[in-house]
C-alpha cells in the first residue's frame, strides 16, 4: 500500500488503489518543483504566525531547497510505495528532519496544496505558450512583409473568388494569433490567483496570513472566498483549455491551407524535400505529413475543453476525486500545443512561395469584381456593372485586367502590419 498523507491505519485494496491513482503519479512529476515552491511560501507564513520557530523554518527551507535541487537535476524520484508528489516531499522532509518535517502540513489540506501546485504550473505553461506564440507571430509578420506584393488566389466555397496576396495570408494568421493571445491573457489572469489557505474548501482555525503567501508566490490576487477557491478547480483548467484551443484552431486552419497549397494542382507553396515524406510505391510523392500531424493534433487539443466541461459538470461544490482526471486531459494537451507551435515555426522558416501563380488563365475570373468596381467608380450603377460583367463571363468575352487597387485598412495594398504588431504587443503583456 502506498504511503499516503491521509493514511489512518487501514489498508485499501490494491486494486482500488491502482484504479483511483491511475496515471497520477507520472503526471505529478510535472508539479514537483511547484509543490516545493508552494511549501516554502507556506512555511514562511507559518513561522510568521508562530506555528514554526525561526530554527525550524531555516531547517525546513534548507531541506526543501535540497529537494528542489534534486528535482531540477533529475535526481528526484517518486518512490514506488509513495502515493503522490505531496506525500513524497513530506516523507523526505520527515526522514531528513524528523518531527519537524511533519509540521509542514499545518494549516493546509492536500486540496489547496494541489490547487496551488496546478496554478503555479499553469501560470508558467501559459507564459511558455505566450513566448512561443510571439515567436511564431514574428515569423508570420516577417513573411507578410517579405511577400506583401506576391499575389495569391482567394477562395470562397472552395471556388476561385477574388485576388488575395501572400502578405494578406501570412498577416491574417498573425492577427488571428493576436486574438488568440487575448484568450491566453484572460486564462492567465484567472489562473494567477492564490487558493492557498482555503484548505479543504472551508478554511481552518489557524490565523493564516493569506496575503503573505499571495505576495511570496507572486500571485496578483487571492481567491478570497474559500469555497470559491475550490470552485476554481476545473474552471482554471477549462480556461486554459479554451485559450490553447483558440490557438489550435488557428494552427489547424493554417495547416489545412498548407496541405492544400502544397498540392501540385495548386502549387502555391513548397518546402525542401527533407521536410516532406514520400510514398512506398509512388516515387514522385512529396506528402505534407508534418502539416497533417499538426492539423490532427490541433483537433485533439480542441477536444480538451469539451472533455473538461463534461468531467466537471453535475458535481456539487467541494472536492471530488473526479478532479484528479483533469491532469490526464490538460497536461498532454499542453505538451501537444508546445510541439505544434514550435513545429509550425520550424516549417515556416523554410517555406517558399510561388510568385507567378496568377499567370495561369484559370485565375482570370479572380478579377471580375475588380472590373465591376472599376465600372461602378466610373459612374455605372453597381447592379448594372455586375450584370454587364456577368454577361461577358457567360459569353466568354471577359478580359481580365490583372491589377488591384485596394487601399483601405487591412487590404492588399494597406496591410496595417504595424497596427497588428501593436495589437499583439498589448495582448501579450502579462
**Is residue 214's pLDDT more than 60?**
yes
In a domain, 403, yes or no: no
User: What are the Cα distances from residue 395, in Å, to 259, 369, 371, 375, 382?
Assistant: 35, 17, 16, 19, 20
**Is residue 2's pLDDT more than 60?**
no
In a domain, 397, yes or no: no
| Residues 152-156, mean pLDDT to the nearest whole number | 96
**Is residue 357's pLDDT more than 70?**
yes
Instruction: Of 30-34, 141-145, 153-157, 279-283, give the lowest mean pLDDT range.
Output: 279-283
Cβ–Cβ < 8 Å for 184, 243: yes
In a domain, 204, yes or no: yes
CATH label of the domain that carries residue 47: 1.10.275.10
Cβ–Cβ < 8 Å for 240, 122: yes
66 and 131 within one domain = no
Q: How far apart are CA 254 and CA 256, in angstroms?
A: 5
Mean per-residue pLDDT over the chain, rounded = 93
Q: How far apart are CA 285 and CA 122, in angstroms?
A: 42
240 and 136 within one domain = yes
In a domain, 209, yes or no: yes
Count of Cβ atoms closer than 10 Å to residue 26 Cβ: 12
Half-sphere exposure of 235 (CA within 13 A, CB side): 16
What is the domain count for the chain?
2
In a domain, 224, yes or no: yes
**Is residue 120's pLDDT more than 50?**
yes
Q: Predicted confidence band at 26 (pLDDT cuts at 50, 70, 90)?
A: confident
| Residues 158-163, mean pLDDT to the nearest whole number | 94
294 and 241 within one domain = yes
Q: Which of 305, 294, 292 is nearest to 263 (CA)?
A: 292
In a domain, 124, yes or no: yes
What's the pTM value of the predicted model, to 2 decimals? 0.91
End residue of a domain, out of 78, 105, 132: 105
197 and 306 within one domain = yes
DSSP codes, 112-166: HHHHHHHHHHHHHHHHHHHHHHHHHHHHHHHHHHHTTT-EEEEEETTEEEEEEEH
Is the alpha carbon torsion for 50, 53, 58, 62 positive or negative? Answer: negative
**Is residue 177's pLDDT more than 80?**
yes
Name the residue with higher pLDDT: 240 or 285.
Answer: 240
End residue of a domain, out of 359, 381, 401: 359
154 and 89 within one domain = no
pLDDT at 284: 78
pLDDT at 382: 96
45 and 166 within one domain = no
Q: What is the pLDDT of residues 264-293, one digit of tens each?
A: 999 999 999 999 887 677 777 788 999 999
End residue of a domain, out of 66, 85, 105: 105
pLDDT at 8: 53
In a domain, 4, yes or no: no
122 and 52 within one domain = no
166 and 30 within one domain = no
Q: What is the pLDDT of residues 289-343, one digit of tens each?
A: 999 999 999 999 999 999 999 999 988 998 888 999 999 999 999 999 999 999 9
pLDDT at 1: 45
161 and 101 within one domain = no
| Residues 40-69, mean pLDDT to the nearest whole number | 98
54 and 116 within one domain = no
326 and 209 within one domain = yes
| Residues 222-237, mean pLDDT to the nearest whole number | 95
69 and 133 within one domain = no
In a domain, 319, yes or no: yes
Q: Which of 337, 269, 273, 276 is nearest to 303 (CA)?
A: 337
pLDDT at 3: 52
CATH label of the domain that carries residue 351: 1.20.200.10
Q: What is the pLDDT of residues 372-390, one digit of tens each?
A: 999 999 999 999 999 999 9
DSSP-derived pairing of the beta strands 151-156 and 269-270:
unpaired
pLDDT at 223: 96
Task: Identify the domain containing residue 23 by its residue range.
Answer: 14-105
pLDDT at 4: 56
| Residues 19-40, mean pLDDT to the nearest whole number | 86
Amino acid at each position: 500500500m502506498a504511503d499516503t498523507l491521509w493514511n489512518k491505519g487501514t489498508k485499501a485494496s490494491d486494486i482500488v488503489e491502482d484504479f483511483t491513482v491511475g496515471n497520477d503519479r507520472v503526471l505529478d512529476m510535472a508539479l514537483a518543483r511547484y509543490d516545493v515552491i508552494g511549501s516554502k511560501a507556506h512555511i514562511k507564513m507559518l513561522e510568521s504566525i508562530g506555528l514554526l520557530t525561526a530554527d525550524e523554518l531555516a531547517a525546513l527551507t534548507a531541506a526543501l531547497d535540497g529537494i528542489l535541487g534534486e528535482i531540477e537535476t533529475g535526481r528526484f524520484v517518486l518512490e514506488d510505495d509513495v502515493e503522490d508528489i505531496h506525500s513524497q516531499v513530506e516523507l523526505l522532509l520527515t526522514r531528513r528532519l524528523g518531527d519537524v518535517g511533519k509540521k509542514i502540513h499545518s494549516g493546509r489540506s492536500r486540496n489547496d496544496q494541489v490547487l496551488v501546485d496546478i496554478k503555479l504550473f499553469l501560470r508558467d505553461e501559459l507564459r511558455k505558450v505566450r513566448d512561443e506564440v510571439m515567436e511564431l507571430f514574428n515569423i508570420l509578420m516577417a513573411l507578410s512583409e517579405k511577400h506583401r506584393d506576391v499575389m495569391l488566389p482567394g477562395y470562397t466555397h472552395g471556388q476561385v473568388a477574388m485576388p488575395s496576396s501572400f502578405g494578406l495570408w501570412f498577416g491574417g494568421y498573425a492577427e488571428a494569433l493576436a486574438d488568440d493571445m487575448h484568450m491566453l491573457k484572460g486564462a492567465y489572469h484567472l489562473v494567477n490567483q492564490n487558493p492557498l489557505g482555503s484548505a479543504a474548501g472551508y478554511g481552518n482555525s489557524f490565523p493564516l496570513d493569506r496575503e503573505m503567501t499571495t505576495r511570496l508566490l507572486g500571485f496578483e490576487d487571492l481567491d478570497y472566498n474559500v469555497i470559491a477557491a475550490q470552485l476554481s478547480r476545473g474552471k482554471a483548467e477549462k480556461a486554459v483549455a479554451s485559450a490553447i484551443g483558440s490557438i489550435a484552431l488557428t494552427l489547424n486552419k493554417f495547416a489545412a491551407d498548407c496541405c492544400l497549397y502544397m498540392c501540385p494542382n495548386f502549387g502555391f507553396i513548397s518546402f525542401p524535400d527533407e521536410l516532406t515524406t514520400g510514398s512506398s510505391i509512388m516515387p514522385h510523392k512529396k506528402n505534407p505529413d508534418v502539416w497533417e500531424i499538426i492539423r490532427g493534433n490541433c483537433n485533439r487539443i480542441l477536444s480538451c475543453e469539451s472533455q473538461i466541461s463534461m468531467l466537471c459538470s453535475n458535481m456539487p461544490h467541494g472536492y471530488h476525486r473526479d478532479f484528479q482526471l483533469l491532469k490526464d486531459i490538460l497536461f498532454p494537451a499542453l505538451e501537444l500545443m508546445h510541439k505544434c507551435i514550435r513545429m509550425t515555426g520550424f516549417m515556416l522558416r523554410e517555406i517558399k512561395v510561388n510568385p507567378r501563380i496568377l499567370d495561369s488563365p484559370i485565375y482570370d475570373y479572380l478579377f471580375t469584381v475588380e472590373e465591376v468596381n472599376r465600372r461602378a467608380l466610373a459612374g455605372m450603377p453597381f447592379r448594372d456593372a455586375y450584370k454587364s460583367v456577368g454577361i461577358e463571363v457567360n459569353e466568354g468575352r471577359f478580359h481580365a485586367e490583372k491589377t488591384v487597387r485596394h487601399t483601405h485598412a487591412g487590404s492588399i495594398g494597406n496591410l496595417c502590419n504595424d497596427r497588428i504588431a501593436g495589437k499583439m504587443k498589448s495582448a501579450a503583456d502579462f
